[in-house]
Amino acid sequence: MVITERAHVQVKPEQLIQLLQRFPFPVWLDSAKVTTEQRYSFLAAQPLLYLQHRYEEMYIHHEDGSIEVQQKAPLDVFAKYEERYTRAYTQTLPFHGGWMGFLSYDFHQQLEKIPQTTIDDLQTPTMGMGLYDGVFVYDHEEECLLITALGIGEQTAQERIDYWQRHLQQTTFLTTKIEYQPQARTIADDVTAESYAQAFTKLKAYIEQGDLYQMNLTHRLQMSLEEEPLQLYLRLRALNPAPFAAYLQFSETTFVCSSPERFIQVRDGIVTTRPIKGTRKRGHDAASDYQLKEELWNSEKDRAELLMIVDLERNDLAKIAQSGTVTVPELYTVETYPTVFHLVSTVTAQLRETVTPAEIIAATFPGGSITGAPKIRAMEVIDELEVHRRGIYTGSIGYIDCNRNLDFNIVIRTIVCHNKQAYFHVGGGIVWDSTVEFEYEETFQKAAALIAALQKREQVI
């Protein structure tokens, strides 16, 4: 039975995370846009189960602290547990409990065997999914903190809620203050302008030969990190509020994400994906803003690039959809973000009734907007041309509830905090009429908010 209560202590998510960080595997799926679609943020910790895949092994963390190790396919292990905890219930919120976590880009190796020659120096997990009951929901419209639970484990839903109500009442929450102390920081890059141009030239040759229509080419930046990842996230959140942001913390690594892009959503049997292709930086005033927005809207190159990905996503959704239900209700729209404009499409379909979340992942992951077309060949060339393994970058963070609804982002605009260092990839889609100077510059436009957050600036330069 679903139970939802108003929290006895009303705090905002940026304060609540102070409590959740004391428990294993805290996760914060953060929505920074107050619209019907992005009204709620979800926070949780101390899962009943936590499934982690790394080094070709599955680590199953149980609530009592025991860890079970299996050498089985991670999607098979997840599917077994997901089936066990699936149930039907009436929803009054988008998420009452279930699975929250991530799939790294490198999880594609579990679906397609692509060569892996890139450097894997961070060795982050390829999957981390926790089963959470007793979830905090922050309603940004009502400015209200709720606790909701399903009672899917040994405790009832009410016992789960009471547990967190007690912790709220026993916690002294500190006022959050974002620190701004602008400072220059060295930015290391795993490519030079010349080596990026060489990779770009090779990619254009593949396109000319007909191997590819387009591909997302990325490189990795690195800066020192002299503060706690949470402080960095709060600053990034203020500088670059995003509808599919997230903060995930485990062992020695933390993901700090401010993604604007939805990968895939399932709600009441309708599956939706919203690929982004086409970017322009924001102007310095209203007139230049308008000019750049119009430039993106009228760009034949960006429209053609997005159309290729729409076709790819239509094909992916067709694998799991009822026949004849794949539609494109929104082919082109320009969305405005704090630092950039994006050209976005929407593709929807009616799911076949028997399709499971694991089958949805297998059919669609990773998102076509950050691989290329055709997808498998694009992933092969990504491995050939990029220096470092992508890890979480261009993977997905989100949730799957026990009602089999789900919502995942595309992990872009994201920093990996690891051993006092901050790592973040940037990239863009390359097509036949792309120019190396424009594409290379665009990658740094996309990095602007991340760099500003790391340099402790109040504004994005």
Active centre residues (catalytic): 261, 277
- CB of 416 closer than 8 Å to CB of 422: yes
- CB of 278 closer than 8 Å to CB of 332: no
- DSSP letter assigned to residue 388: B
- Beta-carbon count within 10 A of 107 CB: 21
* Torsion sign across C-alpha atoms 402, 407, 411, 414: negative
- DSSP letter assigned to residue 322: P
- Beta-carbon count within 10 A of 431 CB: 21
Cα separation, 408 vs 364, in Å, equals 12
Q: Which residues contact 192 (CB under 8 A, 6 or more apart)?
A: none
Q: What are the b/e assignments for 434-452, b being 16+ CB within 10 Å?
A: bebeebbebbebbbbbbbb
Q: Which residues contact 278 (CB under 8 A, 6 or more apart)?
A: 296, 299, 302, 303, 305, 306, 342, 343
Residue labelled with tokens 């919502």: 407
How many residues are there in the chain? 461
Q: Which tokens belong to 203?
A: 């990619």
Residue of 436, 459, 359, 455 whose CA lies nearest to 197: 436
DSSP secondary structure letters along 34-99: -SSTT-EEEEE-S-SEEEEEETTEEEEEETTS-EEEE-S-HHHHHHHHHHHT------SSS-SSEE
| Three-class secondary structure of residue 215 per DSSP | strand
Cα separation, 54 vs 127, in Å, equals 7
Helix or strand holding residue 344 (H, E): strand 340-350
Residue 28: what are its φ and ψ, rounded to 5°? Answer: -135, 105
Per DSSP (E only), the strands in 192-308 are 214-224, 244-250, 253-259, 262-267, 270-273, 276-281
**Which residue type occupies 249?**
Q
Cα separation, 196 vs 218, in Å, equals 9
